[in-house]
Structure 1
Amino acid sequence: MLSERTIQIVKSTAPVLQTYGKDITARFYETLFRDHPALLNIFNQTNQKAGRQPTALANTVYAAALHIDQLETLLPVVKQIGHKHRSIGVKAEHYPIVGEYLLRAIKDVLKDDATEDILQAWEEAYGVIASIFIQVEQDMYEEAQNQTGGWEGYRDFYVDKVVRETPEVTSFYVKPSDHQPLATFLPGQYVSVKLSVPHETYTHIRQYSLSDAPGKDYYRITVKRETGIEEGIVSTYLHDQVKEGDILPLSAPAGDFVYEANPEKPVVFISSGIGITPVVSMLKHLVHEHPSQKLTHIHAVRNSEHYALKREMNDLGQSVRLYVAYSQPTVSDYEQNDFQLEGRMNEDVLNQWIEDKDATYYVCGSESFMKSILSSLKALGVKEESVHYEFFGPKMSTV
């Protein structure tokens, strides 16, 4: 329990954190990695260089300050972050280090405005917040390890099959190298892949959705080749270097963007580009487990040449109502007439395609796509609690 004085001091710093939060977290990561470079083996270095992770951490710290007297309201976010931390290997012993460098960063940026009272209040508050994360993540570690076929840390998988889906998307089918049982997963979850890329000083970890239904003797990840020099380090290595028989270390499945069973209610999936990967897992699972459930999938992509897993979606047949929007259809697309919209989705289009607004929604794609879709759904009167979403970018993290 935090004292009332501590709560008031921390809440009073919220406006300052809103203004200087990113400066503080940028300073935090700078000094943390300078003094503890081995942590670069855990953190996504691309997100650091692009400034995305400092922004995510700044948002998290600001939210903690606002809700320090009602930390239970942050539990959904804590669990989301906890999945990421468990997946990449953040441990309890990392939290004191993080706390030390976060307080240093607050002092460095705010200078004399960071009084002893403020620093002491934040030290106390951080201790309480860290203990919540540690407990949540410990439960996740135990669950991942103790389930049938589960494991701790990273487990070696061999690449059983490589399938080129589109010019820029490839699927990798992997099986455990020890030939022991394989843990199941919830449709929509992801795994972390840990790679030692030639000429790179530190290991790289990336999360990829499991793109097939659970219950197989393999996992499948479907990876888009990123075009940026930094962004493409891992995806380029996977596309150009990894072949059948190679070994990929994977952590146990994680993530909370998963189908929440309610067979009585219609489900609408809305995705764009590579955001289709967790959706395919959920749809294939639902068609098998709940064949009578009313399912709709709305997908936006450049054209059929870039439509990853298109054949598998079409194979679902009459079980799923499919709507496809191509932003740049090819001549062949016009000839085949297998799409419903040329251009980008908007509120009017969604209003036509969604028959039952009182459905459960799962939305996945780029950040700009997500913002547009979520805004449109809100305008259509869809309840916020009915919408689940995941954007393919850095997941918020406290460390």
Structure 2
Amino acid sequence: MTALTADQIARVKATAPVFAVHGTTITKHFYQRMFNAHPELKNLFNQTHQQSGSQPETLARAVYAYAANIDNLGALGGAVTHIAHKHASLNIRPEHYPIVGRHLLGAVVDVLGDAVDQATLDAWTVAYEQLAQIMIGVEAKLYEAAPWSGFRPFKVMRKQVESDEITSFYLAPADGAPAGGFEPGQYVSVKRFVDQLGVDQPRQYSLSDAPHGRWLRISVKREAGAADVQPGHVSNLMHDGVEQGAIVHVSAPMGEFKLDRQKSTPVVLISGGVGITPMASMLATLMAERSERQVTFVHACRNGRVHAFRDWLRRSAAEYPNLKRAVFYEAVSAEDRVGADYDFEGRVDLARIEADVMLPDADYYICGPVAFMRAQREALVARGVEPARIHTEIFGSGMLD
């Protein structure tokens, strides 16, 4: 790998602001350029995020962050690890990086033209090669540790409706082998062919049960869409077109959002909507291990009709002496029972449950819509919780910062 010179570092850093202004224009053109030359790569990218523009925006922010910190890559924190897990879940391999680099740099030239001189383009070429080698190295370790390579066929052993919006799929390897292990909080990618798009589409779903080797369980929310939001291609195919006995192709579990099972300190799980899925896995694991850790399970949803795992959570709170539950319903319906189905009306308000969530040395795990996670993290930090003890999971193209 060619090392960046001091002049090249200065050139990359100096041109970083270009991505603050023109980044999304460049990345949109990049994707168009790359897909025109390599249409097979559409199978690796969420085409809904392409159409909405959220994926190009996310890539533009990532390129800007890399360029702005080219002389201090440690400032990127866990971003490299986070992206590497996503890449490994999608089965992105070393041979893909030269293709991406060629078209990304080509898009820079196409959009900016004479504003980019050859020396600056050369500096960006070396910078991209450096980043590619970093990502390839991290991803190689993930692939080496994974229980299987690529997408593996699984058979749907059971399909269980969990709420009006969420359905669980119990998946066992089609060849009868063990399902393999994972860490509670991790996710898998599931690949389905979408007729409307003419390509395979991968979607990432958190595993929602404890690891035990017999099956993997994912719990999928039907994305019905709205006036300005397209229905979810894969989620609707899973709900309407995948029944017991069907074969789906699944990647190995990935994700750095995972329960630290070596600790004995308290755990606070905070979820909104379908964000309950990794929390269910974490709680189920603690219960299966007969852990003595103190656990507070905070969940928010609209009402009982969309509250997945409602009865399981109620039983768990009754059976597991170390568990405290705080369920918030924003729009309570007539059939919802306070104290049984839910505990509080309205949105999550940590001030109402402060004694149950502000626990010494606790770790906080948050999953849900981006705005929900941002609000909960800010509320915790305002109460003096160290950011290092707050863990979040983000899917799609959302960003907390």
TM-score, with structure 2 as normaliser = 0.93
Matched residue of 1:234: which SS?
Answer: helix
In the alignment, the residues of structure 2 paired with residue 5 and residue 134 of structure 1 have an alpha-carbon distance, to the nearest angstrom, of 25
Residue of structure 2 in register with 1:271 after alignment? 271
Choose which of 377, 382, 385 in structure 2 pairs with 1:379. Answer: 382
Residue in 1 aligned with 2:190?
Answer: 193
Q: 2:85 matched to which residue of 1?
A: 83
Please state if 1:355 is matched with 2:352.
no
**CA distance in 2: counterparts of 1:376 and 1:53, whole angstroms:** 28
User: Is the partner of 1:256 in helix, strand or coil?
Assistant: coil
**d(CA) in 2 for partners of 1:80, 1:231:** 27
Other-structure match for 2:347? 344
Aligned to 2:162: 165
- Between stretches 91-100 and 230-239, larger displacement belongs to 230-239
Which amino acid is 1:62 matched to?
A: Y
Show the counterpart of 1:330.
Answer: 333
Q: Which moved further from structure 2: 253-262 or 45-54?
A: 253-262
> How far has the Cα of 1:120 moved from its partner?
0.9
**CA deviation vs aligned residue, 1:138-184 (integer Å, no higher than 9, x gap):** 1211211xxxxx22111111110011111211100011110112210
Is the counterpart of residue 213 in structure 1 residue 210 in structure 2? yes
- 1:198 Cα deviation after fit: 3.6
Displacement, 1:257?
0.6
The question of 1:140 aligning with 2:137 is answered no
State how far apart, in whole Å, the 2-side matches of 1:244 and 1:225 are: 18
CA contact (8 A) 2:210 2:288 kept: no
Moved more, 75-84 or 204-213: 75-84
CA contact (8 A) 2:155 2:173 kept: yes
Would the alpha carbon gap of residues 302 and 92 (structure 1) be closer, same or farther in structure 2, given more than 3 Å must change?
same
Q: Which amino acid aligns with 1:345?
A: V
Equivalent residue, structure 1, for 2:244:
244
Deviation track 1:195-251 (CA, whole Å, cap 9, x = no partner) reads 123444111110111100001401111000001274421111111111111100111
Q: Report if the CA contact (8 A) 1:155-1:176 is conserved.
A: yes
Give the 3 Å change call, closer, same or farther, for CA 336–297 of structure 1 in structure 2.
Answer: closer
- My pick for the range that moved more, 280-289 or 128-137, is 280-289
Seen in structure 2, the aligned counterparts of structure 1 residues 199 and 13 have a Cα distance that, compared at 3 Å, is closer
2:8 maps to a residue whose letter is: T
Deviation at 1:271, TM superposition (A): 0.4
In structure 2, relative to structure 1, the CA distance for the partners of 1:167 and 1:83 (3 Å cut) is: same
CA–CA separation in structure 2 for the residues paired with 1:349 and 1:63: 38
- 2:330 partner amino acid: S
The one-letter code of the counterpart of 2:105 is L
Contact 1:166 1:305 in 2 (8 A): yes
The letter for the 2-side match of 1:265 is T
Residue 232 (structure 2) aligns with: 232
Q: Does the 8 Å contact 1:273/1:307 carry over to 2?
A: yes
Provide the C-alpha distance between the structure 1 equivalents of 2:231 and 2:360, rounded to a whole number of angstroms: 37
Instruction: Report the Cα distance in structure 2 between the residues aligned to 1:331 and 1:355, rounded to whole angstroms.
Output: 32
Deviations 1:48-69 (A, max 9, x none): 1111111111111111012111
Give the deviation of 1:262 after TM superposition.
4.4
Return closer, same or farther for 1:115/1:170 CA change in 2, 3 Å cut-off.
same
Q: CA RMSD in A?
A: 1.8
Question: Does the 8 A contact of 2:370 with 2:398 survive in 1?
Answer: no
SS at match of 1:298: strand
Rounded Cα–Cα distance in structure 2 between residues aligned with 1:236 and 1:142: 33
User: C-alpha separation between the residues in 1 aligned to 2:249 and 2:340?
Assistant: 42
**Structure 2 equivalent of residue 147 of structure 1:** none
Structure 1 residue 290, shift from structure 2 partner: 5.1
CA distance in structure 2 between the aligned counterparts of 1:39 and 1:202, rounded to whole angstroms: 9
On the 8 A contact 1:25/1:55 being kept in 2, the answer is yes
Write the distance in 2 (CA, Å) between the matches of 1:357 and 1:328. Answer: 32
On the 8 A contact 1:287/1:319 being kept in 2, the answer is: no
Matches for 1:278-289 after TM superposition, within 5 Å? 278-289=278-289
Gaps of 5+ in 1: 145-149
Report the 3-state secondary structure (helix = DSSP H, G, I; strand = E; otherwise coil) of the residue aligned with 1:13. Answer: helix
Which amino acid in 2 is paired with 1:134? I
Aligned length: 391
Matched, 1:11 2:13: yes
Query: In structure 1, what residue type is equivalent to 2:190?
Result: V
Q: Is the 8 A contact 1:81 1:395 kept in 2?
A: no
Deviation at 1:75, TM superposition (A): 5.7
Q: Pick closer, same or farther for the CA change 1:227–1:357 going to 2, 3 Å.
A: farther
